[in-house]
Structure 1
Amino acid sequence: MSIMSRMNRFLSLTQGDAAYTFLPTGDVFTFKQGHFLINQLRGNAKDGSVNNIYLRIHTPNGPISYPLLGIHSGSSIFYHKKALQYRGTIAKISYTVTFRPVKNCWFWDVVLNGCAQSVDLVYGQDIGIAPENNIYTNELYTSQYLGHSIFNTKNGYIICSRQNMPADNCFPYLQQGILGAKAAHYSTDGLQFFGLSSKENNAPEALIGNLSDKNLQYEFSYTALQTERFALNGEKRLSFYGYFLPDHPDAVTEAEYQDKIKDAFLSSSETELCFQYINPVKIRKSFGMPFSSDSFLPEELNHFFPERTLEEYQDNTLLSFFTKDHTHVVTKEKELLSERPHGTIIITPPDQEQISSSLISSTQYMYGIFNSHVVIGNTDLHKLLSTPRGFLNLMKNSGQRLYVKINDTYRLLNLPALYEMGMNYSRWYYKLETDILLITSYTSVNAPNLTLDVSSVNGNSYDFILTSQLVMGTNEYTNPVYFSTSGNEFCFTLQSDVYPGLHYNLSLPECSFSASDDRIFFEDNAPFDESFLTLSISARSEFSVVIRGYLEEYEDIRQTTSFEREKQKGIEYYESLINHFCLIPKSDTEQVAILNETVRWYAHNAMIHFSMPHGLEQPCGAAWGTRDICQGPIEFFLTTQRYHLVRSILLNIFSHQDFLTREWPQWFMFDRYSINPGECHGDVIFWPLKCTADYLYASGDFSILTELIPYENGDLKDSLLAHIALALSNIVETRMIGNTGLITYAGGDWDDTLQPANDDLKQRLVSSWTVELAFQTFEALEGSLQEASKRLQNFADSATAISLAAKFKDLKLQVKDAFENILIKDGVIAGFLDCGQHYTHMIHPSDQITGIHHRLLPMTRSIIAELADADQAKCNVALIHTQLKCPDGVRLMDKPADYQGGVSHLFRRAEQAANVGREISLQYTHAHIRYIEAITKLGYASEAWDCLFTINPILIQHSVPNALIRQSNLYFSSSDGAYNDRYEYAQHFDLLKSGSIGVKGGWRLYSSGPGIYIRQLIQNVLGIRFSENGLLIDPILPEKMDGLKFCYSCFGKPFMFCYHIKSGKNTSPLKVFDGSQELAIQIQPNPYRSGAVLISRKILEQCSGLLDIYLYR
């Protein structure tokens, strides 16, 4: 067994507990103080660092920019333990830049010497200012909570940045400005500075003009300052500075600490230091700029994709399309318009009968990430390959990438002409001068194998270098990499007590190669990072790389395969998973085609959320949120009748119930790791109980109630009935507020941004939504347990079920009374109730505290739970229409929470987040889907149908004209108004209602939303759902869908449902025919309209499989 060494060639400067670490290239690796990481992205010797100082020389044709720092600058590097110095000459301008830390400051002292040039300087710095592990877990998330405040002083602009998400009760702070010159312009996010074009040309957009002078609070905190332009005649001195504090508890209201910064500057500015010359590090001349493909000509596109559907255009330019195999293809032109880079996650398709553990996953991006975040099993702790950082592909060492030698120069493959995504693969099309390279990465269907195929369409031979940044753990640069080799195969072993046999094999079948590390890039042939694996392959027209993952030491999962075979098996897997779902319109309609594609891709998304939890913007995961697993996955699998799998999930969930607290943690790892946060929100305890009742109703599997299940802690096993009884005792003793029927808010409810700011609020607040969910749970369990008492063989079990059913009935009545008599005031349901000395209704028209008057969640859940009466339900929908509905969907509240510099008063994240995204945007897609569920309960057919497309990414501009470009085949978790910051958001919130501001797609894929969306479409819009006793038919379709046919397997038998939708009234609003025979039906109760009809299993078994459904509207 050998060990690959981590990066260890550093130049370090320390000042107290601050450590500034540079590479010998002069690029920043990390700035740290204590356990806080001040910068965000770690540099590497090949790509450099994203921070820099640029000298711009202004010419009649525009500015020409030169970096002064790092590998791409050409500077000579000089080191002293107290400072680092860069020297060089550019266009007859000599320069010296000295970095020196002083106390909790740092200074970049710049000295320029020239003659008659017009110049300015641009300084850029990526910032994290959060605990190191928080940033490495998700740099996008930490940026969302990093609030910038801009002050225009006598020295120009000063940028003050405060991390509003506390760490160890601290709020880190960073101030940046200029001494000796005036900062004339600024920007605050890397999107402004580098721009989308940098994905193709590798150059910062901002350097061609002035910085934007806008405080953009997005997901890449990158502060930039631009000096005034000045005539360089002789010497010019100035300094850029950073001033860091571990804690700034108050909101930033001014540019403080000016005297301290000036004192620090003067304390060492005159010190003479004896510098040591650092031998230069140079990249070999055989490596050139990254390669971005030319676009395909129409005839080339038609050659590969002659049949296209749902084509997306902008200004006559093709952006994307789908194919008959349900693949999605994106052009380079669309990628350059998209803030979020196109990508996908592919996995080994999970078992459809039980929870799978031995699955492999890979995250792939259009910009030349052929594999990344490669992992078997736990998606946090078992990574083989690293995860990309940021969304602009600035650091090009992550994951697995490929260099190809073109005209004697190695070029890193970057943007392709086309990027094709299938259920279990990605393919990149690179157009060379006389050839096309196809790069295909795919997973096998029946084994945790990941294969990368590289081939030349014309059979031309090339030299390649495959690079892989190895992790073997959670994050890069953290764990040693243990490996062994045998022939052309590497074996990488994870050092784990939990999975002692876990390892990966990487091989190149029938292909010779030369293995090395990053030394191959540098003229001195010295490595910086031995864990950066490079494989050089000579003169090949095609080759393959196979990664096999093993959770156990002796698993044998080798198999011969091919891409076409695995692609077809992947298609067949998902067709089986969705019960061969197919909609056939009476005449061709775009919307029906959209739904056919959506069901397949959302099934793909849902299986990743369920079996290997993580996403594109949210690579951390590996756990089931208790609330999440009980919604998306279970609702999806009940809709597709995967009852064995639902049973397996329920048993796993109940095994994580804590015996001492009697409830479930907010989330838990569902494999061998016993990791959870040890706390939960007030609604969490109800979800496992609710989905147990849902499972019993659909499956009739009452034997699960006597299954013996362990607890999270201890060796005790109890029946599921006993687990339910234990949870009930917790609800009564700790969740209910006396006999009021009210339930404590505890740590929060579904909207994570509204977590209470202090412990007192946890006990005083009541969420109306949680109370409604409790009612729904109690009513469902009452009915299920009453039925169970008749079915269970053991008398004691039957008696327990009867007793529990009675207790749930009593609680249900208490909750109903509280809802009707306390939570509703003046006909409006309060979002919250403050149970202080007297009841105070919050998020209600009478609310004088928050200024927010309406909350979506209690209005929809009260209808879904059938707790609101018919009049209240109509009132709820009317308020949603007038107060919460926008062109891009319904919003969570009628205005955002107050933002006062990121300081919390009532709620945590809602008042801390500086970015207008995710739940802060108030259009959280999951909640919009629940709105669809509520209005189908009421029978609002046309609105429900339209709402399906408001949140559907495929050709979304056809439904939402102000929707901005986004990826079409992945679920987006929110629709975010394109505001720069929270203040602009609050001032111009009304633009969302009028559709006068663009809306962006939020984070992708990792959500329970895809599973819930499929359920709403099939069960509540198409109206096909199941119970133990038979098939429930209850379509809520608009009249324009008359003639629609729906193919779907029910109870293992293929059916086609033909919808005949007519206006007018009939004695029965719904009739079902098998040929000419009208089927016997049983009408089910619905408090708001005529309910579903039930066709018994016996009748269904005798049907032909072609059922005509007649609706009257």
Structure 2
Amino acid sequence: LNCIFARKRPLPTPPYISTGQPEISLEAFHSASVRLEGFEGDKQAFLGRRGDLRRPLAVERGRLTGEVGRFCDSVASLHVRLSLSPGEEKTVIFLLGAEKRENVRGLIEKYHRLEEVESAFARTREFWDNLFSGLMVETPEDAFNVLVNYWLKYQAISGHMWARTGYYQCSGAYGFRDQLQSSLIALPLNPEITKRQIILHAGAQFTDGVVYHWWHPGTRLGMRTNISDNMLWLPYILTFYLEETGDYSILDEKVPYVDGPEDTIFNHCLKSIELALSKFSPRGLPLIGSGDWNDGLSAVGLQWRGESVWLGHFLVGVLRRFAHVCRRVGRSDLAQKYEERAEELRKNVNKYGWDGEWYWRASKDDGNLIGSRTCEEGMIYLNAQTWAIINDVAPPERVETIRRSIERHLLKDFGPLLLHPAYTKPDNTIGYITRYAPGIRENGGVYTHAGTWCILAYCKLREAEKAYDIFRRMCPPLRALDADAYQAEPYVLPGNTDGPAAKLYGRGSWTWYSGSAAWMFKVCTEWILGIRPTEEGLLVDPCIPSSWRRFHVRRKFRGAIYEIEVENPEGVNCGVAEVLLDGTPLDRPLLPPIGDGKIHRVRVKMGRTQLTAARP
């Protein structure tokens, strides 16, 4: 079999050692399709005492020791020797797999045959091609195309949703808000994936509405916290699923609580919202607890007195969107309640949360502010500004002031900083965000997840050139043109880019395991290209650079395929002058759901004379 086999022996550990969880037995193998010259199971023997992967001792010597067993740091390395005549080709198949030993022989014998390997590879490519085909684009920007068509999809689905691991975070756990947000990317590809994610996450909720911050599937290991936003992502993501599919039957799906009986998805969502509404300060702002979306604000509200302005912005949007769901299912009483609470919250945020030129981020348990002009460090936070625009919390007269503040304080060479200035010393009244070195991660770096929301906010303002400029500042294929400075892969988003206060300004970090890929995909396709699902149909509302004279989108939507050709003869940023669906003019830029399984041709002409807007 030309194989080296390994088995991890299961051994339950007591609760005071590691996690205390019973370990899952793992059996794995590594084989080659040709006769082995040697093998190695000892990492030190392979690398050498002072060696590394750049110059392994075994490669320099040209031989392996054949050491295996329980007395070394285990690896699996196989050595094959080939002799090639000029122009000759030979194929060697290496297999790496995890399977019980009694099943390994059949797998190895099968996949030592080249035709089986090629067939399996073809099926793998076919799987991804079919999944990705739900939405494909062609624009004048190659970097935009390769990200949207392939890498953002693969990063979000394969890395963040399924593997749940990466070079910088070897986790394996589900994050409640994390994988829910990543499931957004599947909506135009295969919304069943998003539906399964919603149902899975509903099962991580307790009867009081609290949810696990994270949990490991197949174990009893999960973390219940006082983080204040987690549970709200369930109703929020659900509303996007409903807009994409019109499938209101999901609300009747029943899922058990962690500590209780089955309940409908609709009631799970109500539990989430009611829990958030129960935790308000005397002046009507939501309490932050041990953090909101920004986990690093881990000490701001430990006594349940600190407030979150960002959470106020977010909750306004959740309430408005879910009020519509309630009205659709005949719960007008709830719809009215949530709309009234949203408006009351909007007023309170504007009354108490405005700092003169921007919204402050949060108040601490002692009443002092962060993200305020009164702060020497952490004076302004990005999310407290962008979400005021995204969810229409800021009144019109404040929007321009917010935009100027973002561009003056936060927008830098490689995108918008999460906050400014960076913290230079730990502060145990704020949280672990202050422990990071200045300019690193959330502490004054470009946090990609929040950066995508900044692009969305500029699209909402119809600032197309600035929105696309921010995209290009953050775009990995473009950033990697200076590979020495960027130091990250050119095809997946980094979780963050080091800010100007860091030693290596512009360095990308925390790649693969980032929830930003799904949001960047959503922003690029729904807000820049402007092909956006609504309950009534697909809205066509581009917000593009004026230099783009055309782009093409192929998109699945509710059982049909739309081939959308957008022309921009006048070189405008926004505005649709004409829409033809299969040759028939439409009176507004909204493509109705047809659901006949066929391909429909759409011709869109942008221009200064516009059809009636249908923007949600």
TM-score band (shorter)?
0.7 to 0.9
Could you tell me how far apart the structure 1 residues matched to 2:564 and 2:180 are?
29
**TM superposition shift of 1:938:** 1.4
Q: 1:832 maps to what in 2?
A: 362
Q: CA RMSD in A?
A: 3.8
The equivalences for 1:289-328 within 5 A come to none
The equivalent residue for 1:953 is 476
State the partner residue of 1:700: 246
* Partner deviation per Cα, 1:80-110 (whole Å, 9 max, x = no partner): xxxxxxxxxxxxxxxxxxxxxxxxxxxxxxx
1:605 is matched by which residue type in structure 2?
Q
* Mapping 1:164-313, distance limit 5 Å: none
The answer to whether residue 320 in structure 2 is matched with residue 779 in structure 1 is yes
- Within the alignment, does 1:745 sit opposite 2:288 as a pair? yes
Shift of 1:698: 2.5
**Which of 520, 530, 535 matches 1:1023?**
530
Letter in 1 for 2:152: Y
CA distance in 2, matches of 1:736, 1:657: 21
Residue 811 (structure 1) aligned to one of 320, 325, 341: 341
Extract unaligned runs of 5+ from structure 2: 12-20, 46-62, 84-89, 610-616
Match of 1:731 in 2: 276
Q: Is the 8 A contact 2:419 2:444 kept in 1?
A: no
Aligned with residue 156 of structure 2, among 587, 606, 609 = 606
More helix as a share of residues:
2
2:512 counterpart (1002, 1005, 1026): 1005
2:353 is the counterpart of 1:823: yes
Aligned to 1:1096: 592
The residue aligned with 2:211 is 664
Deviation of 1:523 after TM superposition, in Å, equals 12
Describe the SS at the equivalent of 2:380.
coil
8 Å CA contact retained: 1:1031, 1:1096: yes
Residue 591 of structure 2: SS of its match in structure 1?
strand
1:626 is aligned to 2:154:
no
**Structure 1 pair 536–904 and aligned structure 2 pair: CA distance change class (3 A):** same
1:217-254: CA deviations, max 9, x gaps? xxxxxxxxxxxxxxxxxxxxxxxxxxxxxxxxxxxxxx
User: What displacement does 1:834 show?
Assistant: 4.3
Q: Secondary structure at the match of 1:1044?
A: strand
For residue 599 of structure 1, what is the amino acid of its counterpart? N
Give the secondary structure class of the aligned counterpart of 2:350.
helix
User: C-alpha separation between the residues in 2 aligned to 1:868 and 1:677?
Assistant: 35
Give the distance between the partners of 1:806 and 1:980, measured in 2 at CA: 48
Any conservation in 2 of the 1:741–1:817 contact (CA below 8 Å)?
no
Q: Is the 8 A contact 2:410 2:417 kept in 1?
A: yes
Equivalence map 1:151-550=2 (5 Å): 503-509=27-33, 511=35, 517-518=41-42, 528-529=71-72, 531-533=74-76, 535=78, 537=80, 542-550=91-99
Partners of 1:862 and 1:551 lie apart in 2 by: 54
| 1:549–1:654 Cα change, 3 Å | same
Aligned to 2:612: none
Q: Does 1:843 align with 2:371?
A: yes
Q: Does the Cα contact within 8 Å between 2:541 and 2:576 map onto a contact in 1? A: no
- Unaligned 5+ segments in structure 1 are 1-450, 452-464, 475-495, 790-800, 982-996, 1082-1092
Pairing 1:968-983 to 2, within 5 Å after superposition: 968-977=490-499
- Structure 2 CA distance, aligned partners of 1:718 and 1:526? 50
Counterpart CA distance in 1 for 2:595 and 2:386 is 35
Q: Residue 1112 and residue 643 in structure 1: after superposition, are their counterparts in 2 closer, same or farther (change >3 A)?
A: same
Contact 1:757 1:907 in 2 (8 A): yes
Q: 1:952 to 1:806 in 2, by over 3 A?
A: same
CA 523–769 in structure 1, closer or farther in 2 if over 3 Å, else same:
closer
The structure with the greater share of residues assigned to strand is 1
Kept after mapping to 2: 8 A contact 1:854/1:894:
yes
TM-score between both structures, scaled by the size of structure 1: 0.47
Give the match for residue 1107 of structure 1.
603
Contact 2:357 2:405 in 1 (8 A): no
Q: Would the aligned equivalents of 1:1074 and 1:1103 in 2 still touch at CA under 8 Å?
A: no
CA contact (8 A) 2:3 2:31 kept: no
Closer/same/farther in 2, CA of residues 962 and 784 from structure 1, 3 Å limit: farther
Shift of 1:737: 2.4
1:579 aligned onto 2:120: no
Q: Is the 8 A contact 2:446 2:496 kept in 1?
A: yes
Instruction: Give the aligned partner of residue 651 of structure 1.
Output: 199
Task: Check if 1:941 corresponds to 2:464.
Answer: yes
**Which of 1073, 1091, 1112 is residue 580 of structure 2 equivalent to?**
1073
User: Which residue of the partner structure matches residue 49 of structure 2?
Assistant: none
In 1, are the aligned partners of 2:39 and 2:78 still within 8 Å (CA)? yes
Answer whether contact 1:921 1:974 (CA < 8 A) is retained.
Answer: no
Question: Structure 1 residue 753: deviation in Å?
Answer: 2.6
| Counterparts of 1:865 and 1:724, CA distance in 2 | 19
Q: How far, CA to CA, are the matches of 2:571 and 2:476 in structure 1? A: 35
Asked if 2 retains the 8 angstrom alpha-carbon contact of 1:1073 and 1:1079, the reply is yes
CA–CA separation in structure 1 for the residues paired with 2:92 and 2:539: 53
The amino acid of 1:667's aligned partner reads W
Measured after TM superposition, the shift of residue 1072 of structure 1 is 0.9
Whole-angstrom distance in 2 between the partners of 1:737 and 1:553: 61
Q: Kindly state the Cα deviation for residue 1064 of structure 1 after the two structures are TM-superposed.
A: 8.9
Q: Secondary structure at the match of 2:224?
A: coil
Identity %, equivalent residues: 18
Measured against aligned partners, the alpha-carbon deviations of 1:138-176 in whole angstroms (never above 9, x if no partner) come to xxxxxxxxxxxxxxxxxxxxxxxxxxxxxxxxxxxxxxx
Distance 1:515 1:1059, change over 3 A: closer
Give the whole-Å Cα distance in 2 for the aligned partners of 1:553 and 1:526: 20
Pair 1:728–1:968, CA change in 2 (3 A): closer
Conserved 8 A contact 1:1023-1:1032: yes
Check if 1:712 corresponds to 2:243: no
Distance 1:555 1:533 in 2: 16
